Amino acid sequence: MEAASKSDFFQEFKKGGDTLVSSQEVKTGRISGLLSLHITFLERVSSLEKIIFARNLGNMLGAGLALSRAINVTEKQTKNAKLKSTCKALNEAIASGKSFHEALQMHPAIFSPLFISMVKVGEEGGNLAENLKQVSVQMEKSYIIKKKVKGAMMYPGIILSVMVIIGILMMIYVVPSLTSTFTSMNVPLPTSTKLIIVVSNFAAAHYILVFVGLGAFVAAVFAFLRTKVGMRCTDFVILRLPVIKVIVAESNSAQTCRTLSSLLASGVDLLLAVKITGEVIQNSYYKNVLKKSEAIVEKGEPLSTLFVKEEWLYPLFVGEMMSVGEETGQVATMLAGVATFYENEVEQKTKDLSTIIEPVLMVFIGAGVGFFAISMIKPIYSIIDHIQ
């Protein structure tokens, strides 16, 4: 008998009821093994793959499949090497006597505290299949919101990037030919034209340095934005940008309410639910609110107390509906309704954002092109006057 892994081997072996005489683990070749390890190390499990993993697992458990077999089916279906190896490791951990949530805790880089907590509650309450379906819905809602916000910001990002590249190419190839004409005709040049010529001369003489420097600058900016200080600065700026700050507030409100609702509906303790939600939220200002909320809940005060006060981050509607939920004992239901409302609002506002950004970009591009055109055309008129 042959099997892909130890856990698969022992599962198949137990079914037959036979006695094991001997077994041997066959290693892969050194080169292919290193290559496989390298690919697995580099590959990551995307949010969408985690959503599909949770949903399919919940559906299979709901249909009556054993957990180990459901994970095994997922392992065979997935094309992601990282997720495939993780599924193997999960089955091996479960076969060794660990619970599912304990096996998930061994992979914190893949499975979030939200995922692990909902699985743990599902195992303890005997409704693991439903909790997996619920966590997949919650993750999908968060994924869609992030995707819409990123999609809305991608268009201006691409336009500005293309504009910068075209500007550099013009400085290297177009401006020098005009400069030589101006020099040969000994035409008096305005200050703006002189500035463009200085930049062009430098870019043409050190074009490799310009492109390397631009790449290094972009890499340095991205590296800075990943630091604690960089993320704090980014959060500070976007919370004060017109239009953008409203979308950020509503998307964070939707994510907070959806996560809290999912955790509370699954039976997670309120204090733990607030703590996990704080880990899920990315914006540091919103994290601070949830951190403060933990202290409030520990004191026995209503959760809505702080949300009502932090109106500049969370819309008043969030705190008021949370308060109503606490009074009626329907916090999870109320939060789910608030989350749906703000998810729809974000969807509509991201659609409207493109119509707002387009004219702003046109003005910005027009100003850049106009400055360049005037700077280059003015000396040409001087040349015509000089010829006359």
Q: Give percent of the chain above pLDDT 90.
A: 18
The tens digit of pLDDT for each residue in 161-213 reads 888 888 888 888 888 887 887 777 777 778 888 888 888 888 888 888 888 98
What per-residue confidence (pLDDT) applies to 89? 92
For 385, the token pair is 């006057």
What per-residue confidence (pLDDT) applies to 31? 45
Confidence of residue 363 (pLDDT cuts 50, 70, 90): confident
The tens digit of pLDDT for each residue in 339-349 reads 999 988 888 88
**How many whole angstroms separate alpha carbon 282 and alpha carbon 230?**
13
| pLDDT average, residue stretch 100-107 | 92
**How many whole angstroms separate alpha carbon 121 and alpha carbon 101?**
9
What per-residue confidence (pLDDT) applies to 178? 79
User: What sign for the dihedral angle of Cα 174, 179, 184, 188?
Assistant: positive
What per-residue confidence (pLDDT) applies to 5? 66
The tens digit of pLDDT for each residue in 65-78 reads 899 999 999 988 88
Check pLDDT > 50 for residue 264. Answer: yes
Mean pLDDT of the chain: 83
What per-residue confidence (pLDDT) applies to 32? 44
For the chain, the domains span 6-10+28-111, 138-388
Collect all residues with Cβ–Cβ distance below 8 Å to 309 and sequence separation of at least 6. Answer: 319
For 358, the token pair is 């387009």
Length of the chain: 388
Collect all residues with Cβ–Cβ distance below 8 Å to 68 and sequence separation of at least 6. Answer: 7, 11, 91, 94, 95
**How many whole angstroms separate alpha carbon 170 and alpha carbon 297?**
60
For 340, the token pair is 């749906």
**How many whole angstroms separate alpha carbon 281 and alpha carbon 253?**
10
Check pLDDT > 50 for residue 47. Answer: yes
The tens digit of pLDDT for each residue in 209-228 reads 888 988 899 899 889 888 88
The tens digit of pLDDT for each residue in 276-310 reads 888 888 888 999 999 999 888 888 888 888 888 88
Q: Give percent of the chain above pLDDT 70.
A: 87
What per-residue confidence (pLDDT) applies to 138? 83
Q: Look at residue 18 and give its three-state secondary structure.
A: coil
Check pLDDT > 90 for residue 90. Answer: yes
What per-residue confidence (pLDDT) applies to 262? 86
Element (H, E) at 41: helix 30-42
**Predicted TM-score of the model (pTM):** 0.70
**How many whole angstroms separate alpha carbon 157 and alpha carbon 225?**
16
Q: Which fold has domain 6-10+28-111?
A: Receptor-associated Protein (1.20.81)
